Amino acid sequence: MDVKTGYVAGRLAFRGVLCRISGISTAAHCHAVKKHSCETVFKFSQRSLYQTSTPGQHRWFCHNSTPGQHRWFCHTATPSQHRWFCHTSTPGPHVCIVGSGPAGFYTAQHILKNHKTARVDIYEKLPVPFGLVRFGVAPDHPEVKNVINTFTNTASNERCSFLGNVTVGRDVTVAELRQAYDAVIMSYGADADKEFGIPGEDLSGVYSARAFVGWYNGLPQDKHLAPMLDTDTAVVLGQGNVALDVARILLTPLSILKITDITDHAAAALETSQVKTVYIVGRRGPLQTAFTIKELREMTKLPDCRPLLDPADFAGLEDKVKSLQRPRKRLTELLIKTAQTGGATAQEAQRLAQATKEWGLKFLRSPLEILSSEDGSRVSGIRLGVNQLEGSDSSARAVPTGETEVLSCGLVLRSIGYKSEPIDDTVPFDSQKGVIPNEAGRVTGCKGLYCSGWVRRGPTGVILTTMTDGFETGKAVVDDLTTGILQPVGGVRGQEWIQPLLQKKGIQAVTFEDWNKIDSEEMMRGEKVGKPREKILDVKEMLQVAQS
């Protein structure tokens, strides 16, 4: 038996000080565990003992009750894979975070930095961490994913643990977490999407941008989406950054996409895609778009692609531009310039003229009905209501004029925002706003319960916004611990309390070290095909790699 493996592959390991159990011959101890029934060992050593029920993969966690000196042993039954761990833990408040996206990680970072003894356990429903940084951020934006390095640093703090593959609300309840932890933070993001509620929304060929993004980014639940790309015209409804992301992915040359971490199935489907024109449709005007300038500029530079903007949409804006605030001003100037020039230089003009694909913005249009092809097999177009604006600037409202028009298309992506859902009925939820009601991150009326990220403030904001938000919630937790509003309870707490519950249900929590194995495997698979990584799409397979 290789004792070293025990150290390296440590389940529960990075959470505390790891040391070899002295005085025990590892092989002999292994025998002892194998020979004795659980009860015998329990009595013999006066330790509590847990056993998981996954056949062929028994693991024992043994923990002695001397306070402040918890020891853990873990043993897998596969002969070559015996592992022992010893873990001493110093007492300190136990904090639980639900969700391992930017909100979860930035909240954890703040707490670990500003409270010197708090232990932070991050629960995640998927076996892999980072939320939308992995499953949302576009594959052709790898630089955005550099934040993963900061998150990895946080996870390697000895007071921080990652427990992947645990769905809170199903595998463990919020009530159980609140019993086991001194503070519980909801940062589970926004997993659903807003809908229009118009006829035809469920036709074949109509997808939510969320599912489409999940499909090209390897979200296990969306791997079978197989969007219908056998059409020349696609319409994206909504004018936010997600809308530009999906439009760009539809139009970007495959030579660029295939060297990103885009899923293999998406690359293959996009290779045979017939989509040539993408319209991005908004209910309000050019001064109310939700996308930002960096993403718009990227669209103007897409190879083999020309913008289709109607100068009439921007008529009269030149004067108005001067009085706008800098970000909106620069964005509007870029829109006007893009609409007016067929390319600033002769070379650019030639590039645009030769382009085989195009994208356009349509303003002041709300979908009223999604139309079906005659045989009912798929979408054939959208009936749009024409709007006019009431009020001006960012708060202007779209009001229907009564006029309608039809836009033909064979693919519709609805991109009008994500939506959070209640996690369980013990946690207050404002279904109107789609957020957990809170004051500075403290959930209203629930001492010890906090929230951060998209589930706290709604599904808008970039990683930076989420970071600020996470820090604020982290500060609320640290303040409450310091001022004594939260009184940490002693005894067996935190993960040590929850793990046995999970064991009983046969749930194998994935540690950060397990994730590192998945990460290496993905990068290795990617290297073979000239990509930074090839994501594993199947939860079962992720778990297999994690346990290898």
Ligand X SMILES: NC(=O)c1ccc[n+]([C@@H]2O[C@H](COP(=O)([O-])OP(=O)(O)OC[C@H]3O[C@@H](n4cnc5c(N)ncnc54)[C@H](OP(=O)(O)O)[C@@H]3O)[C@@H](O)[C@H]2O)c1
Please identify which residue in 16, 93, 127, 136 interacts with ligand FAD, judged by CB under 6 A: 136
Task: List the helix and strand counts (H, then E) for the chain.
Answer: 20, 22
Residue 260 as a binder of another protein (CB under 8 A): the answer is yes
What are the strands, taking DSSP E only, across 133-226? 160-163, 183-186, 192-193, 206-208
Residue 242 as a binder of ligand X (CB under 6 A): the answer is yes
Please identify which residue in 93, 104, 218, 238 interacts with ligand X, judged by CB under 6 A: 238
Q: Which is nearer to ligand FAD, 167 or 404 (CB)?
A: 167
Please identify which residue in 115, 283, 357, 531 interacts with ligand X, judged by CB under 6 A: 283
Structure tokens at 70: 């918890």
CB of 277 to ligand X, least distance (A): 20
Query: What's the Rg (C-alpha) of the chain?
Result: 27
Q: How far apart are CA 104 and CA 123, in angstroms?
A: 9
Q: Which of ligand X, another protein, ligand FAD, none is residue 188 near (CB under 5 to 8 Å by kind)?
A: ligand FAD
CB of 484 to ligand FAD, least distance (A): 29
344 known member of a binding site: no
CB of 461 to another protein, least distance (A): 5
Q: How far apart are CA 114 and CA 95, in angstroms?
A: 13
Q: Which of ligand X, ligand FAD, another protein, none is residue 285 near (CB under 5 to 8 Å by kind)?
A: none
Q: Which is nearer to ligand X, 277 or 366 (CB)?
A: 366
Q: Are 263 and 223 in contact (CB under 8 A)?
A: yes
User: Residue for token digits 């020979």?
Assistant: 35
Nearest Cα neighbor of 66 from 499, 488, 490 is 490
User: Residue for token digits 């289709």?
Assistant: 308
Calculate the alpha carbon distances from 337 to 8, 251, 297, 302 in Å.
57, 21, 11, 16
Please identify which residue in 154, 187, 231, 366 interacts with ligand FAD, judged by CB under 6 A: 187
Residue 245 as a binder of ligand X (CB under 6 A): the answer is yes
- DSSP secondary structure, 162-226, as one string: EEBS--BTTTB-HHHHHHH-SEEEE-----EE-----TTTTSTTEEEHHHHHHHHHT-GGGTT--
CB of 403 to ligand FAD, least distance (A): 32
Residue 543 as a binder of ligand FAD (CB under 6 A): the answer is no
Would you tell me how many other CB atoms lie within 10 Å of the CB of residue 201?
Answer: 16
- Tell me, residue by residue from 363 to 392, as one string, x for binding to ligand FAD by CB under 6 A and - for no binding: ------------------------------
Residue 67 as a binder of another protein (CB under 8 A): the answer is no
- Tell me, residue by residue from 463 to 502, as one string, x for binding to another protein by CB under 8 A and - for no binding: xxx-xx--x-------------------------------
Residue 123 as a binder of ligand FAD (CB under 6 A): the answer is yes
Structure tokens at 194: 């807003």
Instruction: List beta partners, residue 33.
Output: none
359 known member of a binding site: no
Structure tokens at 373: 């092809």
- SS3 percent helix, strand, coil of the chain, rounded to 5, is 40, 20, 40
CB of 423 to ligand FAD, least distance (A): 5
Nearest Cα neighbor of 433 from 411, 459, 470 is 459
Judged by the rule CB under 6 A, the positions of this chain that interact with ligand X are: 194, 238-243, 245, 282-284, 288, 290, 295, 366, 415-418, 459-462
Which residue ranges are tagged as binding site for FAD? 103, 124, 132, 168, 454, 461-463
